[in-house]
Structure formats: structure tokens, C-alpha cells
Structure 1
Amino acid sequence: MRTVAVVGASLAGLSAARSLREQGFDGRLILIGDELHRPYDRPPLSKEFLAGTLAEADLSLEADGEDLRAEWMLGARATGLDRTDDTGRADRSGHGVRDRTGHAVRLADGQVVRADGVVIATGAVARTLPGSEGLAGVYTLRTLDDARALRDELAGGGRLVVIGAGFVGAEVASTAYALGLDVTVVEAAPTPLAGPLGAAMGGIVSALHADHGVRLLCGVGVKGLSGDGRSGTGDPADGVRGRVDAVLLEDGRAVPADIVVVGVGARPCVEWLEGSGVELDDGVKCGADGRTSLAGVVAVGDCANWYDARAGAHHRVEHWTGARERPAVAVATLLAGGAVEQGVPRPPYFWSDQYGVRIQFAGHAAAADSVTVEAGVADDRDVLAVYRRAGLPVAVLGMNQPRLFTRWRRQLAAAST
């Protein structure tokens, strides 16, 4: 393998590039990213960066002086992946070289990048609210550019409505509350965070909003947004409908809003792979080692739907640690040209900072048949809870319990193996 193209230049792509060099690949390495920015850390975007306490330079994921001997193609969006065949070639001695199958990554500007191996790391994009197009004051938060624009908006104060009480939405609400905004969070589910944490613990964590005077409206969907019609050019052709002034709920209520943040999840960026031979199923469908259905192609990060032997099913891990750790496994598979012996990956882990509380979670809440509080008091938001199935730990949640959580996380990893 002489050339490897990593499509996606965020944390997962950078981790893959580092793993390639660390595992001995000394050929041509190309990193393709649709953003113009070098790799940056996303978790602070909804917290320290949004609050203005962290500078852009502090977001960099590259170490000072780090040189991966890579070619960077930034601001380049991938639009397709094709297989190529090199046949009838000869080496320098004049002897024939066996046929090889390679790949060609097509870019939006017409360029084609040819490579022997491909790492798919195109991540995910924030879902938008239908009907919000052309309405000023409405934001999603996924990229550095998103965070820049929202930070400038929040600096003016006012009434913020966050649609979606997931972790990103909750972090934005927490940050905006600390900045002095009037904040309301709207969540369609009866209990926020019930998916990742279970109903009982999801209710305890989401109670942080009420603890700080942030309104939380649950069990009601959003019908649409209304605008005041005063901003924009005034030309109907430009599609501007004015500035948002309210969030319209399915039950008939209208929640006044000067700013709206839509935090209703993300979808994997895999449209460019349609027709490529790479199997798609809620992202790129992969084995437990990152292999896709196409030889010489692996996938990592938020777009990768890896098989999890513990759960007996595929699922996407949309968390920082997955993007940091799993590329090493996928790269080993790519360089070996097939399956390689791998250890059992650590259980998924993520953290969130809300209203001064550090929330940490590892494992799979959906696999549990019971959850018990092992330390602390839930009402004090200072708690360590363990999820079990048939008496065995499958997940652990900590709220302001970093030492105990770390100990239980190690036990959970040991039990998993």
C-alpha cells in the first residue's frame, strides 16, 4: 500500500493519520477535509469556547511541531468513491507487477484523488429544523464557524430557546444561562436523555435545568418557528423571512425567542458513498475492526456504524473517545489487508459539563435491567449509579464523582473482557 487517503480531517481523521505513521506506514498520506480549518476539538464549542473563555488557538488538536508528512486538502468536499484497477504495469526492472485494485475519491471541484487504501472519517452534520431556512437568529452547533456565529449572537443577550435537551443542547443552555440569557429548553420526549442514560437517571441529570431556573418543557414537539419580518433585504427573492421571534409548539403554545438553537441530533455524512459498493446502514456499516464491505476501505468516527460484540448489534459511537481510540484498530486492519486479531475495545465513554456539574458515562444503558445508586445523593446531583444486567455491570454514570467513576469504569472494562 503506497498511498492512503483519509477523507475527513477532524479528530477521527487526524487519529487515523497518526495511527498510520505510528504503525509503520511510510507512503503517501493525503488528508481531505471539507472545512477550511485544521483539526480542532469540538467538545469545547458548546462550553468554554461559546462562553468566550477559550480561544480558537486552544482548540487545535495538533501538537506544536507535529509533522505527519501528509498532504492536506482542506475546503475539499468528497462527492464520490470509485474503484480503480491498475493492470499491466511494470516495475523498474521491467518485470510485471500483479494487478491491483485501488480507489478514486472524487471531489466537488472536479479533482480526483487516487489511493490504494481509504479511511472514511467524514463524520456527521447537525440536523436542521424544517422550515427554518432563511430565518435569522436560528442556529445549529457542530462546527467552529457555527460556534463563532452563535457566540457573537449570545453576547447580545436576550431570550434563548434550545430545541432538544440532549447533551449539546443542555450544554448550550448551561453556557447561555451563565452568560445571563433567559433560557427555555424544549424536548419532545417525556424524559430528556432517556436514550443514553435511561429514564430514571435521565430525569435526574435533566433536573439540572430546573435547579438553575432554566425552563424545561418536555413531551411536546415543535410545530415551527415564526419570524418578525423586519430583517433581511426586503426582497422576497432572497428567501429571508425576517428574524425569529417565537417557537411554535404542537400544543398551541408560542415560546418567545430572540435566538433559537436547534439541537436535535446529527446524521452521518455518507451520501457521497452511494453507489460506491460501501454498504450503508445508519452510516457506514463496519465490522468490529472498522472493515467495510469494500476491500481496502475502513471507516471511523461519527459516520462509522461498527459492530459491537457486547451488544450483538451495530451502532455508531458519536463521542470523542471513540474518534480518538478506534482509528488505531481500523488502521491496523487496513494495513494488514484484512481481519487482524484485536482486543475487546473499551466500553463507549463520554462526558458533559452542565451548570458546574461534571457528568460522566461509560457503557450501554439499554443493556441494563436495573440501576442502583452506589454513592452520593441523587437530589444533590452528586451521585454514582451502576447499571447491571443479570447482576453484572454494563454501564456506570457519575455526577461530580470523578474518582469513583474512574474506578468503576476500569471495573466495567475488565468485566467486558
Structure 2
Amino acid sequence: MTDGLLIIGSSQAGVSLATSLRALGHEEPIKLLGDENHRPYQRPPLSKEWLQGEITNESLMFRTQEYWAEHRIDVVKNERIIRIDKRDNGSGTAHSMSGARFAFDRLALAVGARPRRLLLDGVDLPGVLYLRNADDALELKARVPDVRDVVVIGGGFIGIEAAASLNKMGRTVTLLEAAPRLVARAVGEETSAYLLGHHRAAGIDIVLGATVRRIVPRGDRVGGVELADGRVVPADLVLVGVGVIPNTELAESIGLVCDNGVRVDASARASDGVTVAVGDCANLPNPVPGAPEGDRVRFESVNNAVEQAKVAAYAVTGRQEEYAGIPWFWSNQGELKLQIAGLSTGHDRTLVRADAERGRHSVLYYRGDRVVAADCVNHPMDFMAVRNALTKGLSIPFGAATDPSVPLKSVTVQPTAPVDAD
């Protein structure tokens, strides 16, 4: 008998690791441990389809109970690990807040990230919410019928998605963003401007460069948000989405190197060479082919969780595989579906492909003559063409892509080899 693998964290990365191991034929015991009192579920729909009542609770679930039983994956709910005793060979025991103990031969950390909290007066008032997990979403959904004015603090993906959903549900929504543009960490200026124009036209009051001074009470609950200029925005509900912090406390407690996440190699192995870490909590070498040596990233995306879990599964089974690929992301914002392929870091020019009649808007990012990334709004064909080109090392010439009526797939070519000087 062996204790097998203990996966702490049962969201996308943890689930993907467990299922990938079974797909590889791994026969040893797998225990998938979650700290919520829910079966493993998908988080992205919480701020969109689920909040709006378009999908059911059951449709959020990753797998059926029958699947877990058939594949001998022991799913454990509602156990929060507070201490780990680990031996030099990577085995050990994890101790839960409930007093339960979980022995393991090998450990996997898929502990994700937690919402960054505001440090302001009034943040503890009833009606000030965050949205990260199912319990957060359940509370938000329960409160929505009784509110009229909503203030969303934060113009990243979660903030915009929730604002668009609440606006669609008939609430008066004000979105406050401290930066001079929306989603500044993830998209370029042209895409930010397009999103801003669309959501303002849809009825969301978006304030850029907003500095929040405090949350204002109305009786014993939230009543508004006061800005630095003295303006008070009325609010029956305040939703905060100002980023996340990777959960590294357990990793640090067992001596793993952490820096904006648990530092791992291209095979998802942590600094001890045995423990693996995957998903939002992992800081990994940039997987984009040709990335600068030593460049590291921490992604918060479903695609990354799935792909990194695959190489971690190989590591657990003793095979050497490295995560190398083109990252991609998506964000559903009301009537908009934003899809991002690649990383635009280091681009030196952009190409906008706008089709107002069809509600499409793509921005291609170039470094020299090579396309390196694209933001595509309601344009899945552009997204797929760029993603395919990046994956296969192909080129989309700048001049050939300027006409938005021309499909990018039709102008994708092999890159021109450099000509040697005589």
C-alpha cells in the first residue's frame, strides 16, 4: 500500500492534474483535496453565465461522482490544510484545520490565489463583496434582487465581467478603475479604448483614474463609495475586484522558493525537485518559444492551468516534459467575447482590424515583421488564425492583414528566411 499523490486544491489546475495522471495510466492513489464544501467546479462562469441564471449549479461541476469513483480519485471537500510535515524524499503528512491528517508520498500544490483586499474604512460593512469562489458568488446572487445601485471597484477582467452581467440584469452600475485605462495589464491601448466605449454605451458609468477614499455606510450597511475628489457614488452593493495574491504560505512553510508564486521549472517541479505546483499559484519560466532566457510569468487562466497540469503529470510519472506553448485567454463581457492569443510584451507596432458593422474588433501586435499576439473581440476567426500562426511558427505579414475583410487564415505564410549578406 502507498499513500500516493496528495493534490491540495481542487479547482481547474488540481482537477486537470488528477485527470491527466489517470489519462497517462498512473495507477497510484490520488487524493484531491479542496477547502470548500462543494464538489470541484468551474470558476469562470461565476461572474457571467451563472450569475445571470443562464446555467445551473450542476453545469458548473467538472465531473460526475461516478467519474471520480470510476477513476479512483478520492475527492475530499471542506478540508483546509494549515500545516505540512514533509520529509526530504518528498513524502509527509498534511494537517487540516479540522484535525484530519492526510499522508502522501508526493505533494502537489494547486492552491490558487486569493482576492487582494482593500485597506479602507468601511470595507467590512455588509454589502461589500469579493468574487473568487462559489460562496462569494452565492452571496452576490442572493443580494442582487434587493439592490439597485452597484459600484464595482476594479476594471480588470473580473470587475468588467461582473459589471456587464449586473448591468444586463437591470442594475445601475458604476465601475471605478484607478488606472487610466481598462484591463491595462492584459491588453493594449486600442483594445482598452474599444472596451471602454462599448461598456459606456451599454450603460455602465466607468470612472478612470478613480481613487477610492472610503466606503460610506448607510445605517449598518454599505451606502456608497467616496472618491478622493469628495464625490460619493451611491451603492447598495460594492463588488471589489482589484487583483489577486498567490497563496504561497504552505509552500513557504515547507521551504520552497517563492517569488510572486511558487517558483517551478518548466516541468512544474518546485525548488525541492519533488513537489509540483500548478495553476494560479505557480511562477514558471515563460513558455512562449523564443522568450528571453530567465523570463518568468504567473498566469491566471484556464488554459495555463490545463497545460501546466499536463507537464506536471508527466513529472509525477517520472517522464521529462517541458511546458512550451502559446498562452491564450478569454473574457466574456456582456455582448463581447474577448479572446487573447500570445503575449504582447515587447511589441513595437499594432494593427487594428475594425469591423463596426459586425461588431468585431481585433488588434494584432507585431515585433518587427512577426506577429506576437492578438486581442480579438467577437472575432473568433482572427483569434484562431493568430493562435495557429503562433503555435506553428508561421507569419501574418503586416501589409496583408490591413484589410479587415480579408481572413487572416488566407494570408498566413511561412516566415521569410533571412538573406545572408555577400
TM-score surpassing 0.5? Answer: yes
Pick aligned residue for 2:179 from 185, 189, 202: 189
**Paired residue for 1:415?**
393
**Residue 280 of structure 2 is aligned to residue 279 of structure 1:** no
Residue range with higher mean Cα deviation, 269-278 or 187-196: 269-278
Identity, % of aligned pairs? Answer: 34
Q: For the residues of structure 1 that align with 2:145 and 2:307, how far apart are their CA atoms?
A: 36
The Cα of 1:206 is off from its aligned counterpart by 2.6
- Residue of 335, 338, 341 corresponding to 1:362: 341
Displacement after TM superposition at 1:341 (Å):
3.8
AA aligned to 1:18 is T
Displacement over 4 Å in runs of 4+: 378-381
* Amino acid in the other structure paired with 1:73: V
SS of the aligned residue for 2:32 comes to strand
Contact 1:11 1:41 in 2 (8 A): yes
Q: Which position in structure 2 is the counterpart of 1:36?
A: 37
From 50, 70, 73, give the equivalent of 2:73.
70
Q: Which runs of 5+ in 1 are unaligned?
A: 86-99, 230-241
Measure how far apart 1:412 and its partner are. Answer: 1.6
TM-score by length of 1: 0.88
What is the match of residue 89 of structure 1? none
What is the DSSP-based 3-state SS (H/G/I as helix, E as strand, rest coil) of the residue aligned with 1:365? coil
Shift of residue 63, structure 1, vs aligned partner: 4.6
8 Å CA contact 1:116–1:296 kept in 2: the answer is no
Distance 2:143 2:3 in 1: 47
- Structure-1 residue corresponding to 2:382: 404
Alignment of 1:187-266 (within 5 A): 187-229=177-219, 242-266=220-244
In 2, distance between residues paired with 1:135 and 1:379?
45
Distance 1:71 1:46 in 2: 29
- 8 A Cα contact 1:303 1:316, kept in partner: yes
Of 71-80 and 106-115, deviating more is: 106-115
User: 1:199-237: per-residue Cα shift (whole Å, max 9, x none)?
Assistant: 2322222322211121110012211101112xxxxxxxx
Residue number in structure 2 paired with 1:325: 307
**Does the 8 Å contact 2:8/2:109 carry over to 1?**
yes
Aligned residue for 1:92?
none
Q: What residue number does 2:330 align with? A: 351
Does the Cα contact within 8 Å between 2:375 and 2:383 map onto a contact in 1?
yes
Structure 2 counterpart of 1:235: none
The equivalent residue for 2:406 is none
SS of the aligned residue for 2:162 comes to helix
Aligned partner of 1:382: which letter? Answer: R
Give the 3 Å change call, closer, same or farther, for CA 416–148 of structure 1 in structure 2. farther
Name the CA distance, whole Å, in 1 between partners of 2:55 and 2:90. 46
Match of 1:107 in 2: 96
Question: Is residue 126 from structure 1 mapped to residue 115 from structure 2 by the alignment?
Answer: yes
Query: How far apart are the structure 1 equivalents of 2:370 and 2:344?
Result: 13
CA contact (8 A) 1:184 1:214 kept: yes
Measured against aligned partners, the alpha-carbon deviations of 1:89-142 in whole angstroms (never above 9, x if no partner) come to: xxxxxxxxxxx5523223222333221211110111112222444301111111
Cα distance 1:101–1:134, how it changes in 2: closer, same or farther (>3 A)?
A: closer
Q: Do 2:31 and 2:73's aligned partners in 1 also have CA atoms closer than 8 Å?
A: yes
Q: 1:73 to 1:355 in 2, by over 3 A?
A: closer
Distance 1:379 1:297, change over 3 A: farther
Measure the CA separation in 2 of the matches of 1:276 and 1:300. 17
* Aligned residue pairs, count: 387
Rounded Cα–Cα distance in structure 2 between residues aligned with 1:378 and 1:185: 25
RMSD (Å) for aligned C-alpha atoms? 2.0
Q: Residues 299 and 101 of structure 1: is their aligned pair in 2 closer, same or farther, counting only changes over 3 Å?
A: closer
**Aligned match of 1:289:** 267
